[in-house]
Amino acid sequence: MWIRDRRARDIPVVERFLVERDTRMCARAGKLVDALAHPALLAEENGELIGVLTYILEEKACEVLTIHVEDSWRGVGTALLEKAEHIALQAGCDVMFLTTTNDNLDALRFYQRRGFQLTRLLPGAVDESRMRLKPTIPMTGAHGIPLRDEIVLRREL
Ligand SMILES: CC(C)(COP(=O)(O)OP(=O)(O)OC[C@H]1O[C@@H](n2cnc3c(N)ncnc32)[C@H](O)[C@@H]1OP(=O)(O)O)[C@@H](O)C(=O)NCCC(=O)NCCS
- 70-107 pLDDT tens trace: 999 999 999 999 999 999 999 999 999 999 999 999 99
Atom of ligand 1 nearest to the CA of 98: 48
Tell me 36's DSSP state: G
How many whole angstroms separate alpha carbon 31 and alpha carbon 52?
21
107: left (phi over 0), alpha (psi -120 to 50) or beta: alpha
Q: Whose CA is nearest to atom 41 of ligand 1?
A: 68
Cβ within 8 Å of residue 20, ≥6 positions away: none
29: left (phi over 0), alpha (psi -120 to 50) or beta: left
The closest alpha carbon to 100, from 142, 41, 47, belongs to 142
DSSP H or E segment with residue 5: strand 2-5
**Total tally of structural domains belonging to the chain:** 1
Q: Whose CA is nearest to atom 19 of ligand 1?
A: 75
Query: C-alpha distances in angstroms, 64 versus 41, 57, 132?
Result: 11, 9, 23
Q: What CATH number did the domain enclosing 8 receive?
A: 3.40.630.30
Q: Which pLDDT score is estimated for 38?
A: 97
Q: Which pLDDT score is estimated for 42?
A: 98
Q: Residues 58-71: pLDDT tens digits?
A: 999 999 999 999 99
With 0.85 as the threshold, say if the pTM is over it. yes
What average pLDDT does the chain have?
97
User: For residue 118, which phi and psi values (nearest 5 degrees)?
Assistant: -75, 120
Domain coverage including residue 19: 2-156
Percentage of residues in the chain with pLDDT exceeding 90? 100
Average pLDDT over residues 121-131: 98
Mutate to test the pocket of ligand 1, among 3, 72, 97, 98 (most ligand atoms within 8 A of CB): 72
Cα 135 vs. chain centroid, distance in angstroms?
19
Mutate to test the pocket of ligand 1, among 1, 68, 73, 80 (most ligand atoms within 8 A of CB): 73
Q: Residues 4-26: pLDDT tens digits?
A: 999 999 999 999 999 999 999 99
Atom of ligand 1 nearest to the CA of 109: 33
Q: Pocket residues for ligand 1 (CB within 6 Å)? A: 67-69, 72-78, 98, 100, 104, 106-107, 110, 113
Decide the pairing of beta strands 25-28 and 31-34: antiparallel
